[in-house]
Chains A and B, each alone.
Chain A
Amino acid sequence: MSNRAWLFLIPALVLLSISAFIPLMTVINYSLHYIFAGSAPTYVGFENYVEVLNDPAFLKALGRQMVFSLMILVVEVPLGIGIALAMPRKGKGVALTLVFLGIPLLIPFNVVGIIARVFTQSSIGVVPEFFALFNYDYNVSLHTTDAILTIFFLDVWHWTPLVALLCYAGLQSIPDAFYQAAQIDGASAWKTFRYVTLPKLRPVLIIGVLLRFMDSFKIYAEPLLLTGGGPGDATTFLSLHVARKAESYELGYAGASSIIYLFIVIVFSYLFFQLLTNIGTGENK
């Protein structure tokens, strides 16, 4: 430790402890206490965890969250790959497509939520107006499926470009020789995709899947701004559920559910990472 280079780590460590370590410890601390405003907190061990895991509202929010994230992955990843494959490789079209794809990524979550809210409002919104043309009564504050599908569509619109851009970068880095070899070997278009493109995209797909999984798993602003988690609790995803508990000063419950939440994200991210790293490498044969 005599090496003074370690000193350079101090700013990063200070920032990290303020932004991550201290809050995390605080949350863990909360999760182990019964806290009621005005009186001193009492230590209750893992009681809060037991309560959270037995709470039907939490389990329902978790289930909703899982289904939602799965839908996101199933749609955004193949769609992203498809868009990347269809994008022009050279010429003026490249810059144009990149800008076009980049625009959604530049819009903050809350702005997306507000745009959606304005667009879907039953009195003035363009979306209900559009569906009215087909005699469909679109109403996000009344119909569960309308609300869920609207948030789903928002997310696909907002974040598929990220997957597409990652894949596009990945495609650009595949040397032509691989396609030429496949051509010489007489591979069909599908086989070329399956055995050249897809394996070569693996590193960017791992990043894409992990990012989209983690981000969609903490979706918050869009459902909050669109319907406040409704109608009923139809779009009360995990983050909304936890935040609501914290807002109502159930800090012990909120702390415990946050830790469980974090644990789930880590476990699934790890599983996805392992799966995507090893699948089809011939390692397990």
Chain B
Amino acid sequence: MRTTIKKQMVTKMLVGVGVIALLTSCVNDQSDKKYDDAIDIPVNQEMIAELTAPPMVPTPVGKRMAKKLIVDLEIQEREGEMTSGVKYVYWTFGGTVPGSFIRTRVGDEIEFHLKNHPDNKLPHNIDLHSVNGPGGGAESSFVAPGHEKVFSFKVLNPGLYVYHCATAPVGMHIANGMYGLILVEPEGGLPPVDKEYYIMQGDFYTEGKYGERGLQPFDMQKAIDENADYVVFNGHVGAMTGDNAITAEVGETVRLFVGNGGPNLVSSFHVIGEIFDKVYVEGGDLVNENVQTTLIPAGGAAIVEFKVEVPGTFILVDHSIFRAFNKGALGMLKVQGEENEKVFAGEIYDGIYLPEGSVIQSMPTSGGAKKPKEEIKALSFEEKMKFGKDKYMATCVACHQANGQGIPGAFPPLANADYLNDDVTRAIDIVLHGKSGEITVNGKKYNSVMTAQALSDEDVANVLTYVYNSWDNNKTNVTPEMVKAVRNR
């Protein structure tokens, strides 16, 4: 009896070994084969593509074989928030701007299902820059509201590609957020890294100026003039700052898939305090090393990689810098871990240096004579706090940070700040006219520049009231009249 069992086991094991051997040989057969032409790469099996919302990316392809990949993408026209208090109707691939990230490998056959939600008002389509074929699929994918189109293509060229809507008027569909990225990995996949993220820049054109409250319609004339009100990463101001910041640990290698949807502006992509170890220039095969700022054309992309050596907050910007600090093109990478003084020692000396002619720079105002459109006035203290917070989040947060903590050594804190609480007139004056030179806040010295802010009396009153009534400050209620008095001094 025992022997029989043993025999059976041995047989089973033998069969098992055989199966494994067979499988192995099967796998080897396919992966060893090299194809000169990607068209000849065979596909086996079907797979539903994993799609992700920014800033996340799907699982790397690794060593998987080419497959028939089913991509299921729904178009939604929906209202979203551009920045605090400002609403905008976005047109989206998959409900987000940029649209869902699609990850493929060379040789994959993509069966693309494009669905236009019945609530939508307009027909749409998709042009994928990774397609070899007329219109990049635009013609085959033109789909009416409440309908679905299916088309297919084989991805032949590895690289990072933009996709976008190409329905008339094309510019408007792109300007409302209809773009995203599709990655075609080479056979065997991209080299593994520790963290990967998805970032896409876009410019937006609204009837009201930056920060003007309410639902802001798209402004065609500004779009034609290429006069953007917002330039943002991932669809809206603050999509990648504060709690939405991307993260990494010291010592990790970070890979960013960066695209630019446009419609108009070219991005000078830069990470403050980091050097890109590698840039896949324009998302193609060419790798450049040790790059400070890489140019990303509208309708183009780049892959950047860098190892983070020290902890801290690294700011991602379009280094066409007014876009970063005045129009929203700002993101954050928060790195945690051990300090490394060999790499970065922080401040080691603080002296006084006052060259002549150091003056405060001012923001262009609309001449004072030109009255801005009637603005919504805060009627109650609560509303004042709310409007003030919105303005703070749109204008001040980049330097003074979300909880008024500032950035040590660079931007003074507003939270429980003696310099602020001691003198309200001085605070109003700084917001209106800017400030440069050394000041001491809570015992620490700061020597940098704040530009004069082009804000209305109402806005200044709201934002300062918000600041004074937050973070343990002295609860001063600043009125537009107080601001006016300082302005007219």
Q: Do these two chains really belong together in a complex?
A: no
Q: B-contacting residues of A (Cβ < 8 Å)? A: none
